[in-house]
Amino acid sequence: MPKFQYKALRRNGSTVSGEIEAADQDAAYLAIEKRQLSPFSLVERRDSPLMNFLRARKVTRKDQSAFIRQLATLLKAGVGLLEAMKSLAKSNANPALAKCADAIRSDLRAGQRLSESLETHMQDLPRYVPRLAELGEATGTLAKALADASERMEFEDSMRSEIRGALSYPLFLAGVGGLIVILMFLFVVPRFDALIGNHRDNLPAISKVVIATGVWMKGHIPLFLAMAGVFTASAIFMVRNKAVREWFRSTAEKTPVIGSFLIQSEIGGWARTMGIALDNGADILTALRLGSSGLQSRELKSGIEGARSEIRAGRNIDEVLEEHLPAMDALSIDLIRTGRNSGALADMLLFVADTKEKETRERAKGLTAIAEPAAILFIAMIVGTIVLSIVLAMTSLYDFDI
């Protein structure tokens, strides 16, 4: 919505200036006059492209979860949906989210549902958020559904933050170590090539490879930098490409340690979403559909879809999950069976989610704990190989034993 800078007269004749947000200039005049002021200057504020660029900030998952949490809080407090969106558009520090709130408010005025508008204007949201919003609209529990969705988003964001924080130092070590290795190849190894001269016939194979690599890098620095740039750009492209990310994830799920961590984390998220859906009034088939919407694992998605078909045919959920989800442990199956028999399936699924999320945190800490020594060991092996190759070259050149 445009913003206007104004100057106006108070009733006592004094001058006042300020800024007001309105749909157009006429609406701005009316809004100022409602404040018992007489405007004599009204100019729309137009920011320069440079200012817009400087103010622009990427919308993070944390920003999104805070947005959904604030919306749920406003709705729970009895604020209407249109008024809540207006409040979020004005108060949000992120211009992109403020713009989204304005766009969603326009859609709501046109009769569109919140869930549809969230999918349109906030496409980076996890898929379960608009689906839970749709469920909340159908059952009259929109505020609770959004609060539950934001809670899951906050947990996922905290997990990512913990893992990133734990990996930051190992990554720093790996970066510094890699730089040291490159500098050794550029400035240290070529010096030994000059010392060896033409006496290369008796050099060990590893020494020949290391020295030849250093000489090549020293003589082709522009080409080496170009290759490094291409490699970096390719890595960034692969990280941002959805198909590549899915392939990497599918491959990682098949590894012994990391695969188990990813699968159990996914099961915890599925149980959380399904429990939330049941707690908000969804039937079991709808809850299964909502639960699978947040899954990234193709294997788990396929298993859930197969289970959903058999539950539709009348079978019990614990039986079909045991058949279609072999990765789900016996304790979780027993808890789901108990929940089905006692009529407290939602509570049991949320308990399974809490258990899995706790296990995920512990496994994440265990995996990140070995990242630092692994990075040190990897760099030490590379540096050690370079040093050993140089020592072997010098000893073979001067023919003495060590």
Q: Band of the pLDDT at 400, cuts 50, 70, 90?
A: very low
**Helices and strands (DSSP H and E) totals, the chain:** 19, 3
Count of C-beta atoms within a 10 Å radius of residue 283: 10
Count of C-beta atoms within a 10 Å radius of residue 117: 21
Q: Tokens 């996922």, residue? A: 156
Largest CA distance in the chain: 102
How much is the pLDDT for 240?
Answer: 77
Spatial distance between the Cα atoms of 351 and 345, rounded to a whole number of angstroms:
10
How much is the pLDDT for 172?
Answer: 86
Spatial distance between the Cα atoms of 29 and 145, rounded to a whole number of angstroms:
40
Record the tokens describing residue 295, joined without a space.
């899954």
Residue 351 pLDDT exceeds 90: yes
Average pLDDT over residues 208-215: 88
How much is the pLDDT for 51?
Answer: 45
Q: In what order do the strands lie in the sheet with 38-44?
A: 15-21, 3-9, 38-44
Write down the mean pLDDT value for the chain: 83
pLDDT digits (tens, 9 = 90+) for 43-80: 777 655 544 444 445 778 888 888 999 999 999 989 89
Residue type at 58?
K
Residue 153, C-beta contacts closer than 8 angstroms, at least 6 positions apart: 61, 64, 65, 68, 126, 129
Residue type at 293?
S
Residue 232, C-beta contacts closer than 8 angstroms, at least 6 positions apart: none
Long-range pairs for 152-155: beta carbons < 8 A, 24 or more residues apart: 152/126, 152/128, 152/269, 152/272, 152/273, 152/276, 153/61, 153/64, 153/65, 153/68, 153/126, 153/129, 154/65, 154/69, 155/272, 155/357
pLDDT digits (tens, 9 = 90+) for 287-346: 888 888 878 888 888 888 888 889 988 899 999 988 888 888 898 999 999 999 998 999
Residue 210, C-beta contacts closer than 8 angstroms, at least 6 positions apart: 189, 385, 386, 389, 390
164 to 66, 160, 247, 252: CA distances (angstroms):
20, 6, 22, 18
